[in-house]
């Protein structure tokens, strides 16, 4: 059954690339003609439908809690642990509103994937060039201040089943400098879906959205380490 689920998942991915990408290309063009906001919502709904279908086809028991904690209009920064590649699919399926994320600049050279990341509000960052990286972060801050959403993974890498890793220093700048509302997100089980064995397995996965944390109400001197420790503790407790 694992082999069959893997084949089905690959076929759905191929179908999505060839079936949905033409619509994405049209949205890409219309975005440059002044329709970026409605096209972002349109693209997100397509991606959300694909993500929900893919999760359903894996057969994984999926538990989601805390949808009521997600603000639908104001700027927001989702702060999540990063278990595996499947995390992005879970976020697309369940956040319920367009959001972007910071991707490494190498993905800008990957056909189709680069268009989807851009349309969904993603940003490409060159971490080796501090000046360019700063401009990328400034764009993320601007988007949040304008009412958009971004998701960050402060561990800096996938934990691959090793538990919650330490948060990197400075990883909360996107949220604190935008004075955004933070939604802690705890994900478990996603690494075991296919990365652990290379086959799609029917394993329990869960996603928990914590209560909002308004960073604007936190004194500036506490926004660096105390905020990081607070969010880390919330995610750690949710994972238990």
Residue ranges covered by each domain of the chain:
2-239
The whole-model pTM stands at 0.88
Reported as a single tens digit per residue, the pLDDT across 18-32 is: 667 777 778 778 777
Residue 17's pLDDT band (cuts 50, 70, 90) = low
Fold for 2-239, please state it: Glycerol-3-phosphate (1)-acyltransferase (3.40.1130)
Q: Which of 81, 88, 218 is nearest to 157 (CA)?
A: 81
Q: Higher model confidence: residue 219 or residue 151?
A: 151
| Position 96 confidence tier, pLDDT thresholds 50, 70, 90 | very high
For residue 185, the model assigns a pLDDT of 98
Let me know: does 47 contact 91? Beta carbons within 8 Å: no
What pLDDT is recorded for position 218? 84
pLDDT score, position 136: 86
**H or E element that contains 78:** strand 76-80
Instruction: Tell me what the mean pLDDT of segment 56-85 comes to.
Output: 93
What pLDDT score does 211 carry?
Answer: 96
How many Å apart are CA 165 and CA 154, to the nearest integer? 9
pLDDT at 124 over 70: yes
**pLDDT for position 119:** 76
What pLDDT score was predicted for residue 121? 79
- Which two three-digit tokens encode residue 202? 């029917």
pLDDT surpassing 80 at residue 190: yes
């Amino acid at each position: 059954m694992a082999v069959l689920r893997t084949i089905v998942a690959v076929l759905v991915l191929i179908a999505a690339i060839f079936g949905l990408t033409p619509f994405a290309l049209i949205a890409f063009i219309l975005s440059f003609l002044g329709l970026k906001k409605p096209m972002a919502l349109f693209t997100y709904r397509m991606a959300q439908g694909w993500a929900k279908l893919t999760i359903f086809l894996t057969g994984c028991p999926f538990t989601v809690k805390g949808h009521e904690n997600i603000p639908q209009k104001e700027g927001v920064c989702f702060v999540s642990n990063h278990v595996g590649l499947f995390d992005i699919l879970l976020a697309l399926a369940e956040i319920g509103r367009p959001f972007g994320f910071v991707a490494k600049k190498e993905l800008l050279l990957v056909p189709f994937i680069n268009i989807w990341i851009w349309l969904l509000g993603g940003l490409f960052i060159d971490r080796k060039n501090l000046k360019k990286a700063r401009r990328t972060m400034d764009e993320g801050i601007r988007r949040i201040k304008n009412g958009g959403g971004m998701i960050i993974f402060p561990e800096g890498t996938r934990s691959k089943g090793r538990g919650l890793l330490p948060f990197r220093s400075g990883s909360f700048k996107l949220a604190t400098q935008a004075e955004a509302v933070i939604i802690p997100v705890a994900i478990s089980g996603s690494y075991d879906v296919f990365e652990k064995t290379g086959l799609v397995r029917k394993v329990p996965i869960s996603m928990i959205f914590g209560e909002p944390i308004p960073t604007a109400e936190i004194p500036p001197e506490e926004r660096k380490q105390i905020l990081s420790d607070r969010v880390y503790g919330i995610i750690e407790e949710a994972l238990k």
